Amino acid sequence: MHEITIANNLLRQLTKIAQTKQAQLISVNIEIGEFRSIDKECLEFAIDNLKDNYPLLNQCDFKYKIITTLAYCLKNNHLYKPDFVNSFKCNQCDSGIKAIIQGEEFNIANPKFSNVVN
């Protein structure tokens, strides 16, 4: 379950940000691209269980957002959604992926801190 490693790395990274702000992190959005092979439920479970080890994060409300995969196909530049079930092939012309437009994200977005005035 590589989500534990990912969770610990994420929590360490967030702790550094909180330390810089000298504040408690109270909420953050975690954006997960579908193409990243990260299981949202596993990650959520890992973070819930690990966050108590991080004093600046243990009050944080973690929110998760899945980013849909979108790509251009090799032959005709069709914009399509590559999927495991169709071997990631274009649904219009059956060619492969030329470029992934979105879906590989793993981002920290919109962190909110306890004692920062916006």
Give the residue among 66, 48, 65 at the shortest CA–CA distance from 11: 48
- Distance of CA 9 to CAs 18, 54, 103, 116, Å? 14, 12, 20, 24
93 contacts Zn ion (rule: CB under 5 A) = yes
92 contacts Zn ion (rule: CB under 5 A) = yes
112 contacts Zn ion (rule: CB under 5 A) = no
Cα separation, 45 vs 49, in Å, equals 6
102 contacts Zn ion (rule: CB under 5 A) = no
Q: For Cα atoms 115, 66, 37, give the angle at the middle one, nearest 5 degrees.
A: 115
Q: Which of residues 64-83 bind Zn ion (CB under 5 A)?
A: 73, 76, 78
- Contact indicator for 89, 53 with CB cutoff of 8 Å: no
Contacts with Zn ion by CB under 5 A: the residue count is: 6
Query: Of 5-13, 46-54, 86-94, 97-105, which segment contacts Zn ion by CB under 5 A?
Result: 86-94
CB of 94 to Zn ion, least distance (A): 7
Query: Of 10-18, 55-63, 91-99, 104-112, which segment contacts Zn ion by CB under 5 A?
Result: 91-99
7 contacts Zn ion (rule: CB under 5 A) = no
Cα separation, 32 vs 39, in Å, equals 9
The contact set with Zn ion (CB under 5 A) reads 73, 76, 78, 90, 92-93
